[in-house]
Amino acid sequence: MDIAVIGSGMAGLAAARILKDAGHNITIFEALPGRGMDSHSTEFEGGIIDAPLRVMNPHLWKNTLSLAAHLGIQTFPVRTYMACSWLFEDKTETWLTTSRTRIGNIPIINNRKGIQQYGWRLVKGMLQLKTAIAKFFKSKDQDMTLAEFINRNEIEEVFWHGAVMPVLYTICTCNPKTIGEWPAKPLLVFLRQLTDGDALLRIQGGTPALVNKLIEGVCIKSGSAIVSIKEQGDKVLVKNTELETLEFDRVVVATPTIKMAQFLDAEQFAEDLQLLQQFKFEQGDLVIHTDSSVMPPKRKDWAVLSYMMDRKFTRQQFTVWLNSIEPSLVGKSPVFQTWRPVTPIDPKKIISTVTLTRAVVDTQTVALNKQLQQRHQTEGRKVFFCGSWSCDGLPILESAVTSAMHIAEIMGAPASFVGLKPKVEVAPQLGY
């Protein structure tokens, strides 16, 4: 078949790759001048900056890493240390730093203050969380939100809000109120898996290397926003801003739902639009910069992940130290990514600011997704919708790949890479 894919984020690219490998002719339409998936990647002193930076647990990102292995892409392990600091009015004070054991890769506290002042509270919190998670998965009530899970279980505050929630912010990139409304189950699966000692993996060459492989042999029309999608007989007509009107047998729309009313025929897709417009999204800024004030005051305390928060846990931010993750940045000036900064960043040290759009996941979206998948199964269906927003779960990148796999399977093209193990190289020398 001739298939159009609208959007070149992870979902669109994965759908295009799977369908291309199944023998279909694929054309990707992308509104941006380049590719959506790596549109925010940039160079810094000859190195690669991914925005956002992506590292993956082999269990939680299993489909994404299997796809990378299918494409022949190498990965390498990274060890994610963390540092937590209190934000006072007149100073910043680091209260916790961690490292990982050489054997087992288990996270451990490695600063005296963290052990003396908070060690027991953190250990207590860890034990409470493990007990609460075990109880949750044995119960019949697994439809609660994360906020409801916390309200039903007594978990040490410093451990939960000071160490666990920042990790969830890092993965979900949403605000604290939104994350409380998430279904608890995928988040608890994530937390349970995260403590098993597996090293996180990063793709060799970063996101651009993955995108280059995904689009091999695929026609991609960049700078080509869609203005109209309309069914006509057994074909779907797709018109872009260049006023080209092309015919396709099937169309996969892989954009946030908030954009779809701009091009889907309002009459033909009235019921779809009514459903799609109920999905909610939020935005946040990712600031890429060289301002080290977002890191612990003492250089010896710098870690891959730097979390800062006030004592009431009402203001928080997280920062990734890119040089400690990306080999091409080793030996370069320190460069960082800070999500929704609450501390001032020197404007002269900002490289770029990227606005990211994230789907809001709550009990309503779970119900909406069930309805959407039922629509996809109807006989004679020609237009399909996919994205991280259309697949319940975590993390976002994995949800995008999984949603693409679902659409391809409906079209008779089940993914051939399921279960492939990632190709892991020896870890390079990094900058931590």
User: For the domain that residue 273 is a member of, what is the CATH number?
Assistant: 3.50.50.60
228's tokens: 């109209």
Q: Answer yes or no: are the C-beta atoms of 354 and 51 closer than 8 Å.
A: yes
Q: Answer yes or no: are the C-beta atoms of 76 and 427 closer than 8 Å.
A: yes
Residue 81's pLDDT is 83
Q: What is the spatial distance between Cα 298 and Cα 14, in angstroms, rounded to a whole number?
A: 42
Q: Answer yes or no: are the C-beta atoms of 336 and 293 closer than 8 Å.
A: no
Q: At what angle do helices 206-214 and 10-21 cross, to 10 degrees?
A: 40
Q: How far apart are the first and last CA of the chain?
A: 50
User: Do 348 and 372 sit in the same domain of this protein?
Assistant: no
Residue 103's pLDDT is 54
- The answer to whether residue 51 sits within a structural domain is no
In order of 127, 230, 254, the CA distances from 15 in angstroms are 41, 21, 9
User: Do 90 and 168 sit in the same domain of this protein?
Assistant: yes
Domain carrying residue 167: 71-202+282-358
Q: Tell me the torsion sign for CA atoms 336, 341, 346, 348.
A: positive
Q: At what angle do helices 62-70 and 396-410 cross, to 10 degrees?
A: 70
Q: What is the spatial distance between Cα 377 and Cα 371, in angstroms, rounded to a whole number?
A: 10
Residue 105's pLDDT is 54
- The answer to whether residue 258 sits within a structural domain is yes
Q: What is the spatial distance between Cα 83 and Cα 302, in angstroms, rounded to a whole number?
A: 7
User: Do 235 and 373 sit in the same domain of this protein?
Assistant: yes
Q: What is the spatial distance between Cα 161 and Cα 149, in angstroms, rounded to a whole number?
A: 14
User: Do 147 and 226 sit in the same domain of this protein?
Assistant: no
- The answer to whether residue 246 sits within a structural domain is yes
User: Do 82 and 196 sit in the same domain of this protein?
Assistant: yes
Burial 115-137 (b: 16+ CB within 10 A, else e): eeebeeebeebbebbeebbeebe
Listed in sequence order, the residues at least 6 apart from 352 whose beta carbon sits closer than 8 Å to its beta carbon are: 40, 42, 51, 287, 288
Residue 92's pLDDT is 93
| Cβ-based burial of 235 (10 A; exposed 0-12, middle 13-18, buried ≥19) | middle
Q: How many domains does the chain have?
A: 2
User: Do 180 and 107 sit in the same domain of this protein?
Assistant: yes
Q: What is the spatial distance between Cα 128 and Cα 314, in angstroms, rounded to a whole number?
A: 23
Rg (CA), the chain: 22
User: Do 23 and 140 sit in the same domain of this protein?
Assistant: no
| Cβ-based burial of 250 (10 A; exposed 0-12, middle 13-18, buried ≥19) | buried
Alpha helices in 55-164 (DSSP H): 62-70, 112-138, 146-152, 157-159
User: Do 193 and 336 sit in the same domain of this protein?
Assistant: yes
Mean pLDDT, contiguous 10-residue spans, the chain (432 residues): 96 96 96 88 92 85 94 89 90 85 60 76 88 92 90 90 83 75 84 66 91 94 95 96 94 94 96 94 92 95 92 90 92 94 96 88 85 93 94 80 95 91 74 48
Residue 432's pLDDT is 45
User: Do 266 and 354 sit in the same domain of this protein?
Assistant: no
User: Do 107 and 177 sit in the same domain of this protein?
Assistant: yes
- The answer to whether residue 63 sits within a structural domain is no
- The answer to whether residue 273 sits within a structural domain is yes
In order of 9, 37, 183, 288, 309, the CA distances from 358 in angstroms are 13, 14, 16, 18, 22
Listed in sequence order, the residues at least 6 apart from 231 whose beta carbon sits closer than 8 Å to its beta carbon are: 237, 265, 268, 382, 383
SS3 content of the chain, % helix, strand, coil (to 5): 35, 25, 40
Burial 23-59 (b: 16+ CB within 10 A, else e): ebebbbbbbeebbbbbbbbeebeebbbbbbbbbbbbe
Residue 104's pLDDT is 53
User: Do 190 and 328 sit in the same domain of this protein?
Assistant: yes
